[in-house]
Amino acid sequence: MTKAVSWIALSCVAWSAVVHASELQPHPEVSTLAQWLEQRQQASGVIGVSAALVVDGKVVWMQGLGYADKGAGIAMTPDTQVGIGSVTKTFTALAAMQLQEQGVVDIERPLSRYLPQFRMRTHGEDLNQVTLKRLITHSAGVPTDVFRDMEADRASYTDVVKLIGRTALAHSPGTVGLYSNAGYNLLGHALATASGTDYQQLLKQRIFLPLEMTGTGFAMDRQGQPRSKAYGPDRAVATPFELRDIASGGIYSTAGDLAVYAIALMDAYHGQSSAAVSEKMARAMFTRQTDIPIDTNKKGLGWFLFRNDSGFAAYHAGSTFYSNAALVLIPERKAAAIILANTVGSDALCEQFAFRWLESHGLAAADIVPEPLGAPAFEPRASRGRHAGYYAQKNGYAKVSITSDGLSIRRGTDTVQATERSPGAFVVETAGEANGDVYYFRDVGPYHVLFWRRGVREQQQGYRIAAKSIDAAWAKRIGEYRLFGYSLPGFEKLLGAEVALQDDGLPILRITYNTGTFVYPLVPLSRDEARTGGLGPSMTGDSVSFAADAKGEVMTYLGLSFRRVDRVAITPRLQAFGYENAWNLFDGSP
């Protein structure tokens, strides 16, 4: 979700309520980061922030800045509860590791073993490959979200299995890193079913109570701790709704409690097991998983990993619609940074705080990026023709054409010429920053993927789509659609959608929010269903289906319903793309 930041500096009242500032220890990186946070919190306009730093396995500094309730003059402290959003996922993963160690679940087994009601439409994928481990590592192919009935008073995390069953698998399991809130709710449901204990009680009994995290719980709990207000983009008090998705983002916690949690994990990593986490669990969670061929992040089990020759860090950030949090651990040094904030747009502040701590320990943001796969070892020059065609990316299409000595690659309005300097590797030789760029292709699962490499940086550039004909029924779906029925809660609103044409007449889906517009390729799969193109890391592969009712054409996307609001005739623009007779969008040519 997008957020904006703007506010005046806090008054001196807030500074009188700063907690634990006198406990600042003589660690240069601690004092530097603490001073930076004070300055940045005022400049950014974030209403309230709480943070803690751990050095050598001990809390050396905690502080609250600004307000938990500005109107009432209640200061933010390290004991103020704030929604931690997706940092919740680290707790869900830890619960999975506990049950794995006790033999209650086997994370390598299919989700359907624990949730027999798990069903999704597939297009050649094997649902038995959706395992608990792949849910933990966001590689199961489960869509990022289901945007229907998101409020806790409308549905429960256990309803996600039914809601997700109305859509289709986004990607072939085990091939793409696709961040999935829905996947973690399925995981939490499976753990609850296998253990015979509801998810909230499972975490309370197995993690919160053993670690004495007395300020941590869920929205429905009786509040023993002061809880922060939530502040919207206009810096006014918001009326937050509670998320259905508690297993992916429903925990409330404090800076002090998250410091206790971080220390317990790092202690276990060093052999000091506790009732909540053993050395074996911690070592497994912080071990890099290398079985996801198309990914943008190094991952452990439940954590994102930064790793270079000097060491590694485990990281997770979280966001509700209003609050934000970040937690970064340097396990080998028993150091950690924790931050929580209560205002829309504070995600940037939280990330900057965590990354500054990361950098003070010899790591950088770029250390989260996996090493390049590199070009295939050998590919006959005669086979390069199979690379020609259109490639679906998250924000549009790339077009690859064969030339006499290599390839022409068009992305948007930019076209580059690449010469085949070795079999299968195509090098750009031109003036400017693109000089030396390398393009190559790999078959990954069912996808023929275009990769781009510049220096040590590599990115996938989409997968080739098959040449298909689309009949008149598909052509007539081009037009604008308006959301009806259920709509998203919170400050960010989905305003409408449009099915349109791009490039050489390829279909796209344009989704407009009050905060911006996003464009996705629309890859037809059947007469009435398509998939948004692209390969991760979020919001790709989503099912888009069409049906007619008494009032006209209805499109379903992410569980939301849209109705066509215009009647598109066969215009000269459509005629230019061959709709008069054959209705072909794809002619199969490069």
Whether the pLDDT of residue 398 is over 70: the answer is yes
Residue 159 neighbours by CB distance under 10 Å: 16
Q: How far apart are CA 547 and CA 144, in angstroms?
A: 23
Which tokens in the block code for residue 212? 């004495």
Tell me: the pLDDT tens digits for 427-446? 999 988 999 999 999 999 99
For the CA atoms of the chain, what is the radius of gyration? 25
Ranges of H-type helices in 270-339: 279-285
pLDDT on residue 3: 33
Tell me: the pLDDT tens digits for 217-261? 999 887 678 999 999 999 999 987 899 999 999 999 999 999 999
Average pLDDT over residues 65-77: 97
pLDDT on residue 6: 26
Tell me: the pLDDT tens digits for 517-575? 999 999 988 889 999 999 989 999 999 999 988 888 899 999 999 999 975 544 544 45
Give the contacts of 506 (CB within 8 A, at least 6 positions apart): 390, 397, 521, 522, 585, 586
SS3 sequence, 56-99?
Answer: CCEEEEEEEEEEEECCCCEECCCCCEEECHHHHHHHHHHHHHHH
Please say whether the dihedral angle defined by the alpha carbons of residues 258, 260, 263 and 269, taken in this order, is positive or negative: negative
Q: What pTM does this model have?
A: 0.91
Q: Can you give the length of the chain in residues? A: 590
Measured CA to CA in angstroms, residue 553 lies from 496, 523, 547, 558, 564 at distances of: 14, 19, 6, 17, 6
pLDDT tier, 381 (very low <50, low <70, confident <90, very high otherwise): low
Determine what percent of the chain falls in helix, strand and coil, rounding each to the nearest 5: 25, 30, 45
Average pLDDT over residues 371-389: 77
Q: 195 and 99 in contact (C-beta within 8 Å)? A: yes
Which tokens in the block code for residue 349? 């502040």
